[in-house]
Chain A
Amino acid sequence: AQSVTQPDIHITVSEGASLELRCNYSYGATPYLFWYVQSPGQGLQLLLKYFSGDTLVQGIKGFEAEFKRSQSSFNLRKPSVHWSDAAEYFCAVVKEYGNKLVFGAGTILRVKS
């Protein structure tokens, strides 16, 4: 069965500092991978997705993620965090595009000024 692990429950970074959120997945083949962001009381917004090809994918709001097959990881990065990035971030995997998403438990990002 597919599973997603986000090892960090909370992360605090200073505004302007770089960010990396970790995600590890368990799946036999190359899955479709996603990062979503959720602001308090809101639904999920897709930041970026990986299907195949270039292992470094660019998303919205200046985010990027790198797929590393050897490490079964899909970590999310941003070079310079803004206070508005404070939210909860979810990594998700799907076996077939559009099929049911399997989410990690999420990482809450706090940004200090």
Chain B
Amino acid sequence: DAGVTQSPTHLIKTRGQQVTLRCSPKSGHDTVSWYQQALGQGPQFIFQYYEEEERQRGNFPDRFSGHQFPNYSSELNVNALLLGDSALYLCASSSKIRDIFNEQFFGPGTRLTVL
């Protein structure tokens, strides 16, 4: 059973560019959350998708957007990249059963470097 997968593993972009990161949830999961982990810090919640809609959002600007597809996979898009967007981006998947979201399982992350 494949766990949460993310692509690409590493990515280098320049300031002002746009980037798309991808996540496939664990089998049986329907909810995807995205986190940003800057160097030396704990992960920070960006947003969560369920039923192809953004359900919750953290304190991130509109440059950060996402999408969830009918197969539950998800994309994170970041526009107008800044140096400060350099970080490890983590995807976590979970399932909603009887109106309760369950434990989140994390992928290995995508390391984004902005030059």
Measuring CB to CB, which residues of chain A are less than 8 angstroms from any residue of chain B? 4, 36, 41-46, 49, 90, 92, 96-106
Contacts and interface: CB of A to CB of B under 8 A. Distances in A.
17 contacts: A36-B106, A41-B108, A42-B108, A43-B90, A44-B90, A45-B106, A97-B100, A98-B31, A98-B96, A98-B100, A100-B56, A101-B35, A101-B45, A101-B92, A101-B104, A103-B42, A106-B40
B67 to A, nearest CB: 18
Interface of B: 4, 31, 33, 35, 40-45, 48, 56, 58, 90, 92, 94, 96, 100-109, 111
Contacts of B111: 41
A92 B94 CA distance: 16
Given A46-B103, A96-B101, A98-B96, A104 B45 contact: no
A98 B104 contact: yes
B112 to A, nearest CB: 14
A104 B44 CA distance: 9
- Interface of A, secondary structure class, is loop
Contacts of B31: 98
Listed from nearest, the 9 A-B pairs whose CB atoms lie closest are: A98-B101, A103-B42, A100-B45, A43-B106, A44-B106, A43-B108, A105-B42, A98-B94, A103-B43
B102 A97 contact: yes
- Interface of B, secondary structure class, is strand
A58 B43 CA distance: 24
A102 to B, nearest CB: 7
A42 B88 CA distance: 10
B39 to A, nearest CB: 11
Contacts of B107: 43
A90 B107 CA distance: 16
Given A43-B108, A46-B103, A99 B56 contact: yes
Interface centre among B33, B43, B105 (most CB of A within 10 A): B43
Interface centre among A44, A90, A97, A103 (most CB of B within 10 A): A44
